[in-house]
A and B are shown apart, each in its own frame.
Chain A
């Protein structure tokens, strides 16, 4: 046995698990395919429901693990089980021998251009929630200039059979409400519309944010899906939708349309599940051995799971799961040591 644990993915789940494993006396090693740690959190500005700084949260996650080894721009190419150990071949010719593996490969954002009718990548005024968040954070990426009318389309690539994604992404509803409020903070004279199927305000204080959006910021919530997007002679985005509560079709000209892109299984999940022989569900996310009591258990001895690799999750859920996985690894390695 060795006390080394390989963590695949350096997002919130991987960072938190690394910290917990380190505190438990193990030597975690992080492999991250990108050139920075933090995953999607590193690109985000503020977090729901209270507008916490994403940068401050990320700092809290990275600071305790600054000393642990990290392979950036690196992926796992091969994993061979040798007794109780795994011999891991990494890209770049490096090798690690570890006692356990924690898969925290996270998620990808749905590519909005697949919903062709919304015109992402075609019309200048159509952006994604990720683009907007980057603009909030850096002021770069998209051109937003004092918009008078802004629309948000919920469930873009989520709960949508047409694009083969039936799952709810959980976080988009409250993210749209958060971003709608932020737009009103920056541009108080703007009119903001949210086009939704259902508003799933499941978390604590989410409902408060939703009420604040209505009462303080006068965001207009319209239950109905946008059917098509086009551009008028003045470059404004023209959308057609249905208000299903009043049973009326709508046509609105907007300066900016924000598509709330959902969470889909990470592009790299297919690779890593193949290397480690993990089961993937129909939606592409990895299937744990028990979805009620052992979300962290891959069903393969010595291989554990945490975070959005098993489905859409909020950051607090991801962090809780990372701690649970660290404890499960500790129990696994302790039992092995006793044997």
Chain B
């Protein structure tokens, strides 16, 4: 591995991430999968770092999950997105930040489509007006929430309590980073670090003391892939994708996985249990699994949040061995508190 080569690519794919004043939209599935992540994100940027992140209860799904499972046509998707943009415009914001990778891809895809087909944008404006009497401006900036945490990674470290370091040996934790496919694979220039060697999560892991593993199936899908899982008959395919990734990363002995997509942490986490049941194989040191985190959860751990306030009790793969390895203080009894 030639690290300087990666640094060169990373320097080629830097994007403009505004400092402040964002209109924030949530994911429609993350709140079920990892319920505290979005709450922690807002807590970090608003309360810990004093930034302006506006949120409205009137926003909806972006429609991406229906679009990618062929349930709604593109015009419907675009009108839903136009309404989201209208809410942002009405609130007086120009910087749009979304929690979901699918949404991030959808927003970039639609803005790019409108750029090339302005007549389609005009049609969607008419449809939105007919449906809701709303108008909208296209955001000046569309970023993913992981871009924001990436930008704030050093501030988080400055305010941090823990690092991604083995407290016994002082060695950096071995981190697998996994970006959602729709983060930069469609539009490499929209992702920090591009599509082939994305830096957004690597930058966080390295800033917080970890070392990142590059393994052969790094670019491979987590296994969600919409119809791989949404169509019940395809679920074996979903599982085999995840299995392929774990077999590939296992020789590198990762301590943890960090992700930035709603589906990835869910499938990488849950399918480990299924693989164990099906094949009797448990990955990770001492066969205790490889814990999988959202980037907000890792930021929260670094900042010293109580693991159970981060919702880590919702994970299938136990996180306690990793918490112990870092030296995070927590109360075991609180894991199932209500």
Q: Which A residues have a C-beta under 8 Å from some C-beta of B?
A: 113, 116-117, 120-124, 228, 230-233, 238
Contact = CB atoms under 8 A, between A and B. Distances in A.
Interface in B1-49: 1-2, 4-6, 8-9
Contact of A230 (B5, B9, B194, B219): B219
A122 B5 contact: yes
A231 B1 contact: yes
B1 A123 contact: yes
B216 A121 contact: no
18 contacts: A113-B9, A116-B194, A120-B5, A121-B4, A121-B8, A122-B1, A122-B2, A122-B197, A124-B1, A228-B196, A228-B219, A230-B214, A230-B215, A230-B219, A231-B214, A232-B215, A232-B251, A233-B215
Contacts of B196: 116-117, 228
A143 to B, nearest CB: 12
Nearest to A227: B219
A50 B266 CA distance: 58
Interface residues of B, number: 19
B334 to A, nearest CB: 38
B219 A113 contact: no
Given A116-B194, A116-B196, A117-B196, A124 B219 contact: no
B8 A231 contact: no
Nearest to B251: A233
Given A122-B197, A230-B215, A113 B8 contact: yes
Contacts of B215: 230, 232-233
B216 A232 contact: yes
Contacts of A228: 196, 219
A233 B4 CA distance: 19
Given A116-B9, A116-B196, A233-B252, A123 B2 contact: yes
B216 A231 contact: yes
Contacts of A233: 215, 251-252
Interface in B208-242: 214-219
Given A230-B219, A231-B1, A238-B216, 17 more contacts: A113-B5, A113-B9, A116-B195, A116-B197, A120-B5, A121-B4, A122-B197, A123-B1, A123-B2, A124-B1, A228-B219, A230-B218, A231-B216, A232-B215, A232-B251, A233-B215, A233-B252
A11 B107 CA distance: 51
A328 B47 CA distance: 78
A113 B252 CA distance: 26
A113 B197 CA distance: 12
Contacts of B194: 116
Contacts, number: 42
Nearest to A230: B216
A285 B8 CA distance: 28
A109 B208 CA distance: 40
Contacts of B9: 113, 116, 122
Given A116-B197, A230-B218, A124 B251 contact: no
Interface string B241-264: 000000000011000000000000
Contact of A121 (B2, B218, B252): B2
- What are the 5 tightest A-B residue pairs by CB atom distance, in nearest-first order? A121-B5, A233-B251, A116-B196, A122-B5, A230-B216
Contacts of A117: 196
A124 B3 CA distance: 10
A12 B159 CA distance: 63
A124 B215 CA distance: 14
A5 B251 CA distance: 65
Interface string B51-69: 0000000000000000000
Contacts of B1: 122-124, 231
Nearest to B217: A230
A237 B2 CA distance: 13
A117 B5 CA distance: 13
Contacts of A120: 5
A146 to B, nearest CB: 22
B237 to A, nearest CB: 14
B6 A122 contact: yes
Nearest to B194: A116
A231 B252 CA distance: 12
A122 B6 CA distance: 6
Interface in B92-120: none
Given A116-B194, A233-B251, A233-B252, A124 B216 contact: no
B261 to A, nearest CB: 19
B44 to A, nearest CB: 32
A113 B11 CA distance: 13
Nearest to A253: B216
Contacts of A113: 5, 8-9
Interface string B186-198: 0000000011110
Contacts of A124: 1-2
A238 B217 CA distance: 9
Contacts of B197: 116, 122
Interface string B173-206: 0000000000000000000001111000000000
Nearest to B5: A121
Nearest to B3: A122
A122 B218 CA distance: 14
Nearest to B250: A233
B246 to A, nearest CB: 14
B284 to A, nearest CB: 16
A281 B197 CA distance: 33
A243 B269 CA distance: 33
Nearest to B6: A122
B4, B194, B215: most-surrounded residue (chain A CB, <10 A): B215
A232 B5 CA distance: 17
B14 to A, nearest CB: 15
